[in-house]
Amino acid sequence: MARQIGVLTAGGDSPGLNAALRGVGKAAMGHYKMHVIGFRDGFRGLMENRTMALDGGQLSGILTVGGTILGTSRDKPHKMPVGGKLLDMTDAIVGNYHDNHLDCLVCLGGGGTLKNALRLKEKGLNVINLPKTIDNDVWGTDTTFGFDTALSIATECIDRLHSTAHSHHRIIVVEIMGHRAGWLALGAGIAGGADVILIPEIPYDANSIAESIRERSRKGRPFSIVAVAEGAISRQDLAAMTAAKLKKKAAAGLKDARKMDDTEADAAELVWADRTLRLAQQLEKLTGLEARLTILGHLQRGGTPSAADRILATRLGTAAADLIAKKRYGVLVAAHGEGTRPAKIEDCAGKVKTVPADHPLVVSARRVGTNFGD
């Protein structure tokens, strides 16, 4: 009997998702003669059994298209908003997996999706993950599809910001996606020649940044580009956040501890809220140069995937079909050199691939005079 596989895309969308769906689907249906069902909107669609047939030409013409034809969501099986409540819908998902007679579920997603896939694996389902995210922070794989496209977009934006910063003698702080890892800000910052690069892995001091900007002014370059990852944090905010978190933990641990008020309890979140804007304002004060903030936001995730992402997604997608054919389940299809390598989901889930502070790219950037705020 032909093998039946399900596919879904979960988490934030990423250029190359459609190319990967096409890779899995065409290899599975065309080469291995399997049946493929798409589930809409991530784990929510699997929970609600909302399907999309993929055998009628739906996979043609999508290689170059951004987004995902299946739709996506950040819904988690064990904490799904249903009727105004967060419910554990894992059993419904397991039920639909069996009702659809699936031999395997292929989940295209990042770190969150990997954790959700692990939960389903622990319930006895055969799952395979494909690593996508513009953040490039999935553990166990060399890279993720979506990253290369976002890198080009962010780099082009920095190029464009350079000429206006130069003309107006301004500091332009440009916020780049990446809450937990700074790969995108680091890469785009280097490729775009940013004067300062701030990433979550290297807490910064605004005074150090300001001094490097003043030094540029003294040398006749009274403008600067500061590339900041969303999750970059100052040393002061990091200390405040750590203290607030410890306090929250302590309060939760004491049975009769007075309830912390919102301001205290959420201090950790609040310091993140407008920090890039605060940094721009701080640098304006400290340097005497005008500062502007540009948030690249979801522009980085939209549109046509780059050639490299289309190739990577096709490579990983077809490798997923090969693994299913061999009944090699429970793995992340990791990019490894020029090939792929199956990595056990439990070895990768819950871990984040962050930028080591002494990574060769950080070292190179420092060699050309880039300031990291430390």
Which residues bind to ligand F6P, rule: CB under 6 A? Answer: 12, 110, 133-135, 177-179, 230, 301
In the chain the beta strands, taken as DSSP E runs, fall at: 4-9, 35-39, 51-53, 80-82, 85-87, 104-109, 127-131, 170-176, 196-198, 224-229, 290-295, 331-336, 339-344
User: Count of residues for the chain?
Assistant: 374
Residue with tokens 């659809």: 100
Count, in order, helices (H) and strands (E) of the chain: 14, 13
H helical segments located in 219-306: 235-253, 262-265, 267-273, 275-287
Contact 372, 365 (CB under 8 A): yes
Considering 13, 135, 148, 309, which one is annotated as catalytic?
135
- For the chain, percent helix, then strand, then coil, each to nearest 5? 45, 20, 35
The DSSP bridge pattern shows strands 170-176 and 331-336 to be: unpaired
Q: Give the list of residues 6+ apart from residue 62 with CB closer than 8 angstroms, or none.
A: 18, 19, 21, 22, 69
CB of 74 to ligand F6P, least distance (A): 6
Distance CA 198, CA 374 (A): 9
Distance CA 263, CA 240 (A): 13
CB of 252 to ligand F6P, least distance (A): 26
Distance CA 54, CA 34 (A): 11
CB of 94 to ligand F6P, least distance (A): 26
CB of 230 to ligand F6P, least distance (A): 5
Known active-site residue 135: yes
Would you name the residues annotated as active-site residues?
135
